Amino acid sequence: GESVGLHLPTLSVQEGDNSIINCAYSNSASDYFIWYKQESGKGPQFIIDIRSNMDKRQGQRVTVLLNKTVKHLSLQIAATQPGDSAVYFCAENISGSGGGADGLTFGKGTHLIIQP
Amino acid sequence: DAGITQSPRHKVTETGTPVTLRCHQTENHRYMYWYRQDPGHGLRLIHYSYGVKDTDKGEVSDGYSVSRSKTEDFLLTLESATSSQTSVYFCAIGPQFNQPQHFGDGTRLSIL
């Protein structure tokens, strides 16, 4: 089965609300995790990453939380905007070096829909 | 992504024909990757390269071959295309200098 997966394939939120996208991973040896955003017709775009020696990392309007005990990863987007509409993927790697050398394992993705 | 160019962006071909997709990078990254993206599967790794002439298989390598004769180009070949290889193909490069892996805009391949 999938090494990395998502609980919800579609998430609908009101503009201005906070969004939380979840991801479960099964490989306890994974030590590096990335969130990507993919808009229609485009390649995945890096949002934020976190290494396994951290529980939380914040970026601009985004926060990633890592719970190694239950092998769970989440992406929080504050004050969701229409431009946040996209598919969001979590990905993992064991080497902990940003995806190299042997590539990333991706979840299936969550489609975030922003309601006006 | 400005540093990665995939060609062609779209291709329609027939079952049994050979197909080659090209990924060109201008960032001198050591690592390059080919993924395919299908509904319900996310992105899956086909092959990757860790240097010129150094390549290895990924999760879904059957039916594909790759070549990397120079740093900037990574070619993906379908020797005899099948309908199951209809997909969107993404090239990625990196990581390097603490920059995570990043992606081109994909090639949409349809095999009829």
pLDDT at B97: 64
pLDDT at A98: 45
Q: Are B101 and A99 in contact (CB under 8 A)?
A: yes
Integer Cα distance of B50 and A99 in angstroms: 12
Q: What is the DSSP string of B56-85?
A: EE-TT-TT-EEEEEETTEEEEEESS--GGG
Q: Which of helix, strand or coil describes residue B108?
A: strand
pLDDT at A94: 73
Q: Do B102 and A103 touch (CB under 8 A)?
A: no
pLDDT tens by residue, A16-60? 999 999 999 878 888 889 999 999 889 999 999 999 999 999 999
pLDDT at A3: 44
pLDDT tens by residue, B28-75? 998 999 999 998 778 999 999 989 999 999 999 999 999 999 999 999
The residues in A 46-75 lying below 8 A from B, measured between CB atoms, are: 46, 49
Q: Are A14 and A112 in contact (CB under 8 A)?
A: no
Residue A111's identity, in one-letter code, is: H
B101 at A interface, C-beta within 8 A: yes
Q: Mean pLDDT in chain B?
A: 93
Closest CA to B64 of B50, B47, B52, B48: B47
H or E element in which residue A55 lies: none
Q: Do A98 and B99 touch (CB under 8 A)?
A: yes
Beta bridge partners of A12: A113
DSSP A37: E
